Amino acid sequence: MSFKVVIPARYASARLPAKPLLDIGGRPMIQWVIEAALKSGADEVLVATDDERIAAAAVHPDSRLMTVMTSPNHLSGTDRIAEVAHLRGWDERTIVVNVQGDEPLLPPGLVGQAADLLARHEDADIATLSTPVTSLHEFLDPNVVKVVTAQNGTALYFSRAPIPWTRDGAPQGLSSQTIFAGAQRHLGIYAYRVDALQRVTALQPGELELTEKLEQLRALQAGMKLVVAAASVPPPAGVDTESDLIRVRAVLGVG
């Protein structure tokens, strides 16, 4: 199976400025992400950015630069990836996996799993992964995106709200909920075919996306088919805050 990986990376970040360039063991974070992606089995790995500092830091282990410079006007990483597909002239059936630039601990196998999931579902537009919600706190946390699916794995809905909601588990409302069995946390890794990538980025954000602030709802509301599978290995969290950065450094043993 052939697939590409594109890592969208931007310099600005509300909570952690210059995030792709943050030091982890003497190397910028984007370098750790690149090296994980290179182990995924992809036939090509590229970084999509509009920032020369990130471009200079995005280096293959054999010292080749790996950057495609993209427009500074993109509102999302998906838009940036769509521009890369256009600039590289990839065929509309080419599979492209979106790997987030703030996932230095990303298990490479999950990248290949997402690509393989899409390859096995010829009628699907997008493939993504999930993992079980492991605590009530996680279930109620609006920063943890939840997904519910049909029996065939097709996504029914994504939400920041706690879904599926067990009515009888919360007799006094939200704070009294005790049940989260069966809930799934959505992981922010996506595999697209190029034709679907171009279609979704041509759409205007819909009501659901604007309400939940979840880009995947644009595709879902437009009637596109998203397939979801359980992640083959538990993924560690990415880096959104300074405390996340400290945790990642500790996990990697780099202080």
DSSP one-letter string for the chain: ---EEEEE--S--SSSTTGGG-EETTEEHHHHHHHHHHTTT-SEEEEEES-HHHHHH-B-TTS-B-EEE--TT-SSHHHHHHHHHHHHT--TT-EEEE--TT-TT--HHHHHHHHHHHHH-TT-SEEEEEEE---HHHHH-TTS-EEEE-TTSBEEEEESS--S--GGG-TT-GGG----TT-EEEEEEEEEEHHHHHHHHHSPP-HHHHHHT-THHHHHHTT--EEEEE-SSPPPP---SHHHHHHHHHHHT--
Predicted pLDDT at 162: 94
Residue-level pLDDT, tens digit, the chain, 255 residues: 899 999 999 887 767 888 899 999 999 999 999 999 999 999 999 999 999 999 999 988 876 778 999 999 888 889 999 999 999 999 999 999 999 988 999 999 999 999 999 999 999 999 999 999 999 999 998 988 999 999 999 999 999 999 998 888 777 777 788 899 999 999 989 999 999 999 999 999 999 999 999 999 999 999 999 999 999 998 887 888 888 889 989 988 886
pLDDT at residue 14, as a whole number: 66
User: For tokens 């974070």, what's the residue?
Assistant: 29
CB 18 within 8 A of CB 54: no
| pLDDT of res. 12 | 78
**pLDDT for res 24:** 92
CB 55 within 8 A of CB 47: yes
Q: Residue written as tokens 């909920």?
A: 177
Give the pLDDT score at 170: 79
The reported pLDDT for the residue numbered 255 is: 63
Give the pLDDT of residue 238. Answer: 81
| Domain architecture of the chain: domains with CATH | 4-235 (3.90.550.10)
Question: Which residues are registered as beta bridge partners of 24?
Answer: 27
Q: How many residues does the chain have?
A: 255
What pLDDT does 59 receive? 86
Q: Is omega for the bond preceding 234 within 30 degrees of 0, making it cis?
A: no
- Check residue 63 and give its pLDDT: 65
